[in-house]
Structure 1
Amino acid sequence: MSHEILHLLCSPMKLERDQAISELNKTLPASSQSTVQQFKNALIATATNKEAPWETKYGCLLGTKIVVSYLNIENEDDQLFINKYKDTALQYLIDDEPRVRIAAGEVLGVLCAKAGPLLYSEIKTSLVNLLSSQIDSQNTDQQQIMHKIASSSDTGGSSTALETTLKCLQNIAEGCGHEFQPFIDSEMLNLVFRSTKHSCRFVREAAFYLCASLVTNAVDEYDYGECDNTVINTYGNEFAHNLSSGLSDNWSQVRLAASVATRKFLVALPMAKSREAYYPELLPKICLNRYYVAEGVRNYSQETWRQVTGPDGKVLVERFVNETVNYYIKTTECDNHAVREAACSCIAELATKIDSECVRPHVQRLLSTLGICFQDDFWPVRDAACLACGSLIQSFPQESQKALPTLYPMFFRNLEDPIASVRQDAAIGLSNTVRAYGASALAEIQPRMVAGLNGVRNQPDSSLLFSEPNSKLNTNYTSTRKCPQVADPTDDVPMYEHNRNTDLTHVRRKPSEPWELADGYLIFILVQNAQIITIKSSIIFIEFPIPLVDFMPYLRLKKNVVRCLHLLGELAMIGGPASSVVTEILPLLAEISKLRHYSNHLQLLENLCKTLPIICTSIGKKYTKSIVQDFFDSIFYALESENALTSSAASQCLNTLSSLIGPSILRAKVQSYNPSYLHHLDANIHIAPL
C-alpha cells in the first residue's frame, strides 16, 4: 500500500498527487509501526535520487510533511529520519523548480516545529549563507540571479530562489514559535531588511511576511506586555523604517504584506508609550492606506487603524499633524495615480474631521498641492482634488481666499468635464464655496452659469471629435492598471502606469461639449440646496431639503472609490442669495430644456427631471405653481422617450410634483397647457417608475 501511495505522490498529475495525500492522511494513523517505517525509508530513498524529475521530489516532500506530524521525537528511528530529511530538504532549496523549493521550505518548517530550535541551529549557517549569496548575486550581476519563472496549472504564479528561501525562513520561524527569538540577530535582520528593498516585488513581499513572523516571535509569550530585552526593543527603529518603506510601495501586494507586518509590529507593543516612538513614521502611511484603491490594502488598513489607535485616532493625527501633512503632500507627487487620489481624499478628511487649529497652519500648502492635483491627467485624481478643495474652502474660508483666483477656473473647468462624476464633484466644490463666501461667490458663479446654460444653443448635432487623425485621445474613463503577468520578476514597473512626465502636447483629453457644461450647472443648482454633513471613510453623507431616495442614481459618483451620496432626510434649504439665483435661472432652464438638436439631449433631460423636484421643493409651492407649466413639454417628451432612465426620471418627476402642488392642481395645469398630455399623466399614475 505504501508503494502505491508513493507512486501516486510522485505522479506528474496534480489530481493523483492530491488523491495520494488524502489516502495517506487516512491510512497513516491506522498503519503499523513497521509499515510506517517502510514508507519513511522509501521516501528517503526516492528523494535522494538527484536525477529524479521534479514531480518525484515534490511528491516526496508532500508526503514528508504529513509523516512528520506522526513522528515521535523520542524514537531513535524517527530522529534518524528527521536528520536525513533535513539535509535533503536543505539541498532542495536550490532546486531549479520553484514548487520543489517552496515544499522544501515547508518541510523544514514542520521539522523545526517537531524537533524544536535545535534543528534550526544545525542548519542556520547554511541557510544564512544561502540567503546572503542570493542577495549578493542580484547586486553583483543581474544575469546571474538565482531564479526561474514557473507558470503552470499547479502553481499559477512565479517565484525566485531568494523569495522561496525567505519563505523557508518564515516557515522555520513560525514552526519554532517564541523559541526562535534567540536566533533573531543583527546578521539575519540585515539580510531581511536588504530583501525588503530588493528590485523584485515578489522578494519584497516575501521579506515583509517574514518580518511579520519575526516581530510576532520577538516578544516572549510570558512577558508580552513589557517588551524588555526583546528584539523589537533593540531593532525597533530599523523595523519601523523598513515597514514605512513597504507601506508606500508601488505594488499593492507588497503594500499589503507590509501592512500585515506593521500591524503585528505595533500589536506586539501593547503599551501605548512603547508605540509612540514609531507613530510619526508609521501612522501617516496607515492613515493614507485606508483610502488606497486596492480593496485588500484599504480594508486591512482600516482595521489596523481601529485596533492600534482605538478611540484616539483623531487625537493622534492632530498630535502628529506635521508628519501627516508632509506625507500627504509628498504622496501627491507619486507616480502611482491611485496613491495621488488617496492623498487628495485624505486631505479632504483633514479638512472635515481634524481640529481646525491643527490644520490651519497648513492650509496654504495643502491648497497649493491640490491645485497641482486639480490639473492631473487622471480624472479620479482631479475629482478627489476638487472635493478636497471644496472641503478646505468651507472649513477655512479666510485662509483660502487668496487661492480663489486660481481655484475658480479649475472648478469651472471640472464643471464641464466629459466625466459626469467630475462635473458632480465640481458642483459640490462650488456649493461649498458659496457657503463660505455667500454673495461674493455667487457673483462670480452666476454669470458663468447663465452663459453655460445658454451655450446649449451652440451644441452641434453630433459629439465633438478630433480633426487630427493622428492625435492621441486620452479620455481617462478607465484606469490604466497593469495586470502582473508571468515575466521577469525584477521588472518592477508600478501596477498603475502613470503619465505625469508625458509630453502633454501629445496627450489630449476629450474636449468638453456645451451640453456638459449646462449639465454641470444643473448639478450645481441641485447641490446648492443641500448640505454636506460629513465625509466618513470613503462615503460622503448629504442631507437634502426633502428625502428623495429615488434620486440616488443621479448623484452616483465614480465607482473607483465607491463614493455614494446618501440622501438622509429633511434639512432647511440654504437661504439668502442662493435661493434668488435658483428662481432667476428657472426660465432659462425651461428654455434650454426644449432644445432637441443634439444627440445627448436625453441625458440633459434626465438630469433636469431629477433636479426639478428638488428645486421646486426648495422654492416653495406657490412659486412652483407659477412656473411648472414651462417644463411640461420637456417632462412629457422625456416620459415618452425610448431611453428607460430618462423616462423613469420623468415619471418620478411628475409624481413628486403631484405630491408637492396637489394632483388636481397639476392635472388642471396640464389640461390648460396641452390636453393631449392628459392621457400620459393618467397612465403614469398607474405605472410604477423604473
Structure 2
Amino acid sequence: MDFSSSERALESLIRRQPPLDDSIQEIASSLLKTPMNDEAFPSLIMKLFDSNNDEKDTIRWEPLAVGLHLTASYLLQVTLHFQNDEKASLQVYQEGPRVPQDSSSHSNKIDIAIQDMDQKSLIEFCAFIIGQCQLHLEHKEPRVRSLVAKVVGQHAKLAISTSTTASTQKMSQELLNQSLDLYQKIEISFYNHISSGPETQGKSKASSGALDDTTGWRALETNLYGIGSFIQATSYKYFEYQSNLEKLLEAIKECCIVHVNRHVRAAGINVLEQMIHAIVNSSGECMDMLLDLESNLRNVIVQVLKVTLADNWSQVRMAASVLCRVFYTAMMEYQESKNVENEEWLTSTFPMLLPRMCLNRFYLAQGVKLYSHETWRILFDRKKSDQHTGLMYVAQHAGAIARYYCKMADADNHVVREAACQAIAELANKIGRSEEYAEYLAPYVVTLLQALIMCFHDESWPVRDEACLACGTFCLAYPQECEPELNTLFSRWTEQLTDQIWSVREDAAVALGDAIEAYGPSMLEKVMTVLKRDLPSAKKQPAMSREEYKRRQNDIDSHTNSQLYSCGSLAPKLRKGGAGRIGCSDCLITREKAPWEATDGCIYLIRELCCRLCSADTKPELLLSDETLLPIMTELVDACRVKHFPQSDDLRTTLWKNLPLIAKALGKQRFKRNYLQMFLEMLMDNLDEKSHATQLSVHAAGQCAEELANLVGRGIFKGRLEEDWQQETFERVMRERSQMTKSIPAEGFSPFGPAEATLAFNPNEVSAVPRPAAFPASAGVPSQPVSTGGFGMTESF
C-alpha cells in the first residue's frame, strides 16, 4: 500500500491482490473522481468504512487504512480553512526526527467552505469517524492503528481551530467533547496494556506469541502516539484537559525505562517531547513544569533521559537525543527571552545527562552521532563570547563523566565499548592537554586507564583498536600517572603491532609514537629493538602460490558449519573478554598471525618515527639520524621486495601509501639524497604492466610515484630512473592519473569516505588525518598538532 498521497492510496486499493470486493473498488473509483471540497466526499469515506464492516471472515485492513488516511487529509483541509494558516499541519513524530516534513498538502490547499448549515454534517461525520477510531483502536494491523493515532490528532486540531470564531463556537465544543471522549478511551486502553499480566509480557498478540522486542506491541505503541497526537494538537491546553497527569507520567516512565519493546520506548519518549513543545507554546505560563526542580514532569524527563540516552537500540537512543535537545533548548530559550541568570535549571542535570550526551557523539549509528554533535554546538556554542563553554562543563563534571565512561567500557554492546574508548581518548586529548583544566581529570586517570587496559582484552577488534590509541593519548597527557602500567601497555602495543587487522597495526604504531614522545630515549630504545626484530619477518612467510591461496579461499569445507556473526549481535567474536582472556588470540574462531603482518606493522612504525623524530623541533636526544635510519630503510626495501606469497602485494601497498609521508617528514633534500634511489626499482616494477600486481597495489604505487615526483620535482624523479622502460612507465602512469584527477570532482567528498582519499588533492601537505578532537575549537583549547596516524578514526567535530 502506498500512503504517500490520497490518490495513490486509492489506486493501491483498486490494484490490491487478492482483489477486494467490487463494492469497495467502486467506492474507491468514485473517491478518485470526487474532489475533496465536494460535499459528497465525506459521505463516500463513510461508505468505504461501512462496506468493510460486515461479519464475514474476509474483512480486510486495507479499506480501513485508506479510509483513515483520507479522513486525516480531509480534516487537515478543513482545519486549514478555519485556521487560515499554511503551517497548520499535524506531523506526528512516528518515523524519526530525520524524516523531512511533508508540505505537499499545503501547496495544494483546497478551499472547503463550511457554512452554518454544513456544520451539522461535519459534526455527524466526525462523530462517525470517532466511532471508527474507537472500534479499531486495538486493530491487529499496526498500520491501521498508526492511522487512528493520526486521525485522533487531526480531529483534536480541528476542534481547537474552530474555537476562534463566534459562529463555530458551538461546533467547536461538540468536536472537543468528541476528542476528549476518544482521548479517554485511548488512556483506558493504554493503562490496560500497561497493566497486562506477566503471562503476556514480552509477547505480541498479533505475532502468534513471538518474542516482541523487534515489532509492535499490540496497541500500546499506537496508544502512545495517539496521546502524543492529542497533546500536539491541543498544545498547552492539554494540561487543562488532563485530570491526572502524575498517573500518566508514571505510566509513560515505565514504558520508556522498563518496557522490553524498543518501539514502545521510543513512542513514550515522543509523548514527553510533545509535552515540552506544549509547554513552550504556553508563552511562559507553564514553564514552571520544566524549571521547577521539584516538578514531576521535569524529574520524569531527567530519569527517562538518564536511561534511554544509553539504550541498546539506536532507535530509542535517537528519540532520547531529540528529547534531550528539546528539553535543554526550551529552558535556554526561556532564559534568554526573560534575561534571567538562574543556570540551576541546566547545571543540576549535567551530572546525569552530560556524560551520556558526550558519549553519544561517538556512537556508531551516524544519526545519533551527528545529531548529538549538533546538539552540543547548540547548547555550548550559542554565544561565541560566552565564557561558559562545553570544555569547562566537562572539566567540572570530570568525575561523573569518568565513572560513566568506565561503566560503558564494560557494556555488553561492543559498539558502546568502542564509543567509550574514543570518548576516553577525547578526555585525555582535550582536558589532559589543557593547562587550565588538566588537574580536573588527574584524579581519575588511573581508573580510566584500567578501563582501557580491560578493553585491550576485548574480542572485538575495533574496541581493541580504540583502546590502543586512547592509551597512547593518555601517556602523552599524563605520563607520570601512566608510568606504573607502562610495561603492560608496551606489551599490548607491540602485540597489536602484528595484529591480523591492518588498522589495529597502524594505530598500535601511532600509540608507540605517542609513548616515545611521552617517555623519551628509554622508550625509543625499546621500540627500536622491536622494530629491528620484526621488520625482516616477511622473509619468513611460508611460500604459497596464488592458485593455492585462491583454492583455500574457495574451499567449501572450510566455510561450512562455521559460526555466523552479525554486526549487531553479541556473537562470540564480539564478547567483552575479561580476566584470563588475552585479546584476539582467544576468539573462538580466528586465524593465526602471519609473519608478513609484523613487517606491515613495522612500516607504520617507521612512518611514525620519521614524522615525529625528524623535524627541526625534535629534542636532540630523540633526533633520528641517517646513521640509524639508513640501515632500517635498507632492511625495509629488502623485506618488501619478496614475492613468494600472495599477500606480498598487500605489504607493498602499505609501503606505497606511507612512503610519501615518510619522504615529506624527512624533507626534500634529505630524502632525495639518501633514500629515493633505493625504492625506485621496486616502485617501477610494481607499476609495470607485466608485473601482474593487484590493482590496489598498482593504484597505491601510482599515487606514491606522483607524490614523490611532486616533492622532488618531476624532472629529477624521471632522471633518477635508469631504464627506458621505467621512464615510459612513469610517463604512462602520470597521464593516467591526470585523466583520473579530471574525472573526479574536486569538491563534494563524503565525510564518511576513506580519509587517505583526500591526499590526492593535497599532495603537498605533510600531515595526513587529524586525531580526534570532539570538543569544538571554541571550547577554549587550541587545536593540537596534527598526527600522521589514525586513518580509521572519525573526527568528532
TM-score per shorter chain, which class?
Answer: 0.7 to 0.9
Q: Which residue of 2 aligns with 1:516?
A: 597
Question: Which one of 277, 289, 305 corresponds to residue 360 of structure 2?
Answer: 289
Question: Which one of 682, 685, 690 corresponds to residue 637 of structure 1?
Answer: 685
Distance 1:333 1:475, change over 3 A: farther
Q: How does 1:496-535 map to 2 (within 5 A)?
A: 498-500=574-576, 507-530=588-611
1:193 pairs with 2:253? yes
Distance 1:659 1:40, change over 3 A: closer
CA positional deviation for 1:279: 1.8
Question: Which one of 66, 76, 95 corresponds to residue 59 of structure 1?
Answer: 66
Distance 1:412 1:188, change over 3 A: same
Q: Which residue of 2 aligns with 1:242?
A: 304
CA positional deviation for 1:164: 1.6
Offset from partner CA, 1:46-87 (integer Å, 9 cap, x none): 476565432332233223223334555972332233233223
1:579 pairs with 2:624? yes
1:13 pairs with 2:16? yes
Q: Which residue of 1 aligns with 2:147?
A: 103
Q: Which residue of 2 aligns with 1:177?
A: 235
1:123 pairs with 2:123? no
Aligned equivalents of 1:501, 1:511: Cα separation in 2: 19
Q: How does 1:474-485 map to 2 (within 5 A)?
A: 480-482=566-568
- Partner AA of 1:177 in structure 2: S
TM-score, L = length of structure 2: 0.70
Distance 1:265 1:685, change over 3 A: same
Distance 1:662 1:122, change over 3 A: closer
Question: Which one of 290, 295, 300 corresponds to residue 371 of structure 2?
Answer: 300
CA contact (8 A) 1:58 1:99 kept: yes
CA positional deviation for 1:107: 1.4
CA contact (8 A) 1:528 1:574 kept: no
CA contact (8 A) 2:457 2:576 kept: no
Aligned equivalents of 2:511, 2:706: Cα separation in 1: 30
CA positional deviation for 1:21: 8.6
Aligned equivalents of 2:624, 2:232: Cα separation in 1: 66
Q: How does 1:182-581 map to 2 (within 5 A)?
A: 182=240, 183=242, 185-196=245-256, 197-223=258-284, 226-227=287-288, 233-270=295-332, 271=335, 272-310=343-381, 312-354=389-431, 355-462=437-544, 480-482=566-568, 498-500=574-576, 507-530=588-611, 576-580=621-625, 581=628
CA positional deviation for 1:240: 0.8
Q: Which residue of 2 aligns with 1:567?
A: none
- Partner AA of 1:350 in structure 2: L
- 499-508 or 298-307, which moves further after superposition? 499-508
Distance 1:613 1:63, change over 3 A: closer
Question: Which one of 685, 697, 701 corresponds to residue 646 of structure 1?
Answer: 697
1:599 pairs with 2:646? yes
Offset from partner CA, 1:11-54 (integer Å, 9 cap, x none): 572999999899859844542x4x35644653674476565432
RMSD of aligned residue pairs (Cα, Å): 4.1
1:681 pairs with 2:730? no
Query: Number of aligned pairs?
Result: 627
Distance 1:573 1:659, change over 3 A: farther
1:68 pairs with 2:70? no
SS in 2 for 1:218: helix
- Partner AA of 1:136 in structure 2: S
CA contact (8 A) 1:414 1:423 kept: yes
Offset from partner CA, 1:115-174 (integer Å, 9 cap, x none): 2454443234432221111122254534875444899xxxx9756321121122122111
Question: Which one of 673, 676, 683 corresponds to residue 625 of structure 1?
Answer: 673
Distance 1:81 1:277, change over 3 A: same
Aligned equivalents of 1:25, 1:289: Cα separation in 2: 47
- 93-102 or 631-640, which moves further after superposition? 631-640
CA positional deviation for 1:264: 1.5
Offset from partner CA, 1:317-375 (integer Å, 9 cap, x none): 11211111111111111111111111111111111112322222211111111111112
Aligned equivalents of 1:139, 1:602: Cα separation in 2: 60
SS in 2 for 1:588: helix
Aligned equivalents of 2:291, 2:30: Cα separation in 1: 44
1:42 pairs with 2:47? yes
- Partner AA of 2:640 in structure 1: S
Distance 1:471 1:331, change over 3 A: farther
CA positional deviation for 1:397: 1.3
CA contact (8 A) 2:27 2:44 kept: no
Aligned equivalents of 2:37, 2:706: Cα separation in 1: 75
- 11-20 or 189-198, which moves further after superposition? 11-20
CA contact (8 A) 1:288 1:342 kept: yes
Q: Which residue of 2 aligns with 1:161?
A: 219
- 183-192 or 447-456, which moves further after superposition? 183-192
- Partner AA of 1:524 in structure 2: L
Distance 1:408 1:57, change over 3 A: same
Aligned equivalents of 1:656, 1:415: Cα separation in 2: 27
CA positional deviation for 1:648: 4.2
Q: Which residue of 2 aligns with 1:112?
A: 156
Q: Which residue of 1 aligns with 2:785?
A: none
Distance 1:659 1:9, change over 3 A: closer
Uncovered stretches (5+) of structure 2, i.e. residues with no partner: 1-6, 79-113, 161-175, 336-342, 432-436, 738-797
Aligned equivalents of 2:611, 2:557: Cα separation in 1: 45
Question: Which one of 125, 134, 147 corresponds to residue 90 of structure 1?
Answer: 134
Offset from partner CA, 1:521-549 (integer Å, 9 cap, x none): 111111233369xxxxxxxxxxx97xxxx
CA contact (8 A) 1:386 1:425 kept: yes
Uncovered stretches (5+) of structure 1, i.e. residues with no partner: 483-492, 533-543, 546-570, 672-676
Aligned equivalents of 1:254, 1:80: Cα separation in 2: 40
- 624-633 or 249-258, which moves further after superposition? 624-633
CA contact (8 A) 2:221 2:264 kept: yes
Distance 1:107 1:668, change over 3 A: closer
Aligned equivalents of 1:38, 1:530: Cα separation in 2: 78
Aligned equivalents of 1:303, 1:244: Cα separation in 2: 19
Distance 1:242 1:37, change over 3 A: closer
Aligned equivalents of 1:277, 1:18: Cα separation in 2: 60
CA contact (8 A) 2:153 2:233 kept: yes
TM-score, L = length of structure 1: 0.80
Q: Which residue of 1 aligns with 2:195?
A: 136
CA contact (8 A) 1:104 1:168 kept: yes
CA positional deviation for 1:611: 3.6
Aligned equivalents of 1:118, 1:496: Cα separation in 2: 57
Aligned equivalents of 2:179, 2:681: Cα separation in 1: 83
